[in-house]
Amino acid sequence: MEEYVYIDGKKYRRGYTTGSCAAAASKAATHMLLTKNKIDKINIDTPKGIPLSLNVCNIELTENKAKCSIEKDGGDDIDATHSMHIYAEVELIDRTNDEDIIVEGGIGVGVVTKKGLSVEVGKPAINPVPMRMINSEVRKVIGEDFKYNLGKSKSLKITICAPEGVEIAKKTFNPRLGIIGGISILGTTGIVEPMSDEGWKKSLSIELEMKKAQGLESIILVPGNHGEKFIKEKLNLDMKYVVRTSNFVGYMLKEAQRIGFKKILMVGHIGKYIKISAGIFNTHSKIADARSEILISNLAMMGAPYEFLKRIEGCVTAEAAVEIINESNYKDFYNLISNKCKLKIEQYLLDEEIDVEVMIFSMDKTLLGKSDNADSLVEVFR
């Protein structure tokens, strides 16, 4: 594997996905079951075109079964599944249908309970690409004509397990997605690219897909925990409509548009939404941080005096600026910013059929401001 990539001039190490681990463990266990010989390395190909040579761990080999694991390595993009072991147990069973290879989920692999994912309800959370990888790599061992090699009456049963997955899944998006009992076996390329936001964004987008599959036509987008708590505790809205955007506001707006939502309520803390009012749609500070400049320019346009603007400039956070604004005659600033957010979003989406409204709150969950028609849109979510 090409182990390193360079991002912004820095060297980062690649890793490999839980899908690659499952495929490698399945291939290794199949090889050991059929040859009755233990191996300590296994080679697989990945959809990205990068081959992997992985260590085989925790081998158990009997006459009728073979089991082993591959340790997940996230490279320099460490997540909750980094260093956990993905197991495959392989056995020959009596054939009950035309399937040569049967893949099931065991302990620690979640089960899908809600519509809208790429896996059917009731099935183990092994995504389509990892499932194809497992079948492809195992097929390299058994050959194309399985019946010829191992008898017409047998099938190969592969059970993917992740014993640590029950606890690790609690640190992932799985509970929000309706995946219970464990982790998902994931990966569209087989390779984990360091410092990549793509996996995170995809998991957020999947939640939007699920909401649509459940019949929802309207959605509430919030950055994270604080937004969710504000929706629940202050607005008393139905939480089934709520999806997080994290910092990927523009991405999630475009995804909501693509999926077909026609009413979008945006609710967020002023520290992030002040950026949207200036057309900044990735709110991470490493992308753009012009909070102070946006605050000052809008307050200046409202006629705030120089000394007042200097006080705002001295604020390290938007929350600190809120304290000053709340003691002034410029509290209309919040509605102004909410309406500017709405305008920038409308310009970004260029879709007159989508109704967008905005609400902004402070850290103590006080509603600061809202766009002109926000109240009417809120009623949709009660």
Mind listing the domains of the chain with CATH numbers? 4-192 (3.30.2110.10), 198-381 (no CATH)
* Closest C-alpha to 356, from 221, 230, 207: 221
Tell me the pTM: 0.77
Say how far apart CA 151 and CA 149 lie, in whole Å. Answer: 6
Run of H or E residues at 249? helix 249-259
Confidence (pLDDT) at 266: 98
**Cβ atoms of residues 215 and 241 within 8 Å:** no
State the pLDDT at residue 149: 58
Distance CA 249, CA 211 (A): 17
| DSSP string over 17-29 | -HHHHHHHHHHHH
Alpha-carbon dihedral 233, 239, 241, 245, rounded to 10 degrees: 70
Residue 150: predicted pLDDT = 60
**What token pair was written down for 345?**
């979003």
Distance CA 84, CA 244 (A): 27
Please give the chain's pLDDT, 382 residues, in tens: 556 666 566 677 889 999 999 999 999 999 999 999 999 999 999 998 999 999 999 999 999 999 999 999 988 877 889 999 999 999 999 888 888 899 999 999 999 998 878 899 999 999 999 999 999 999 999 987 665 456 667 889 999 999 999 999 998 889 888 899 999 999 889 988 776 677 788 888 999 999 999 999 999 999 988 899 999 999 999 999 999 999 999 999 999 999 999 999 999 999 999 999 999 999 988 788 899 999 999 999 999 999 999 999 999 889 999 999 999 999 999 999 999 999 999 999 999 999 999 999 999 999 999 999 999 999 999 8
* Joined tokens for residue 112: 């899908």
**Residue among 32, 106, 87 at smallest CA distance from 65:** 32
Token pair for 171: 């640190």
Per-residue confidence (pLDDT) for residue 97, from 0 to 100: 83
The pLDDT value given to residue 376: 96
Half-sphere exposure of 65 (CA within 13 A, CB side): 9
CA distance 268 to 221: 8
d(CA 244, CA 265): 12
CA distance 298 to 343: 15
Q: What are phi and psi of 254, to 5 degrees?
A: -65, -35
The rounded distance, in Å, linking the Cα atoms of 7 and 247 is 20
Torsion over CA of 1, 118, 247 and 363, rounded to 10 degrees? -130
Tokens of 350: 């260029």
pLDDT at 1: 53
The predicted pLDDT at position 11 comes to: 74
Element (H or E) spanning 6, and its range? strand 4-7
Amino acid at 51: P
The widest CA-to-CA distance across the chain, in whole angstroms, is 87
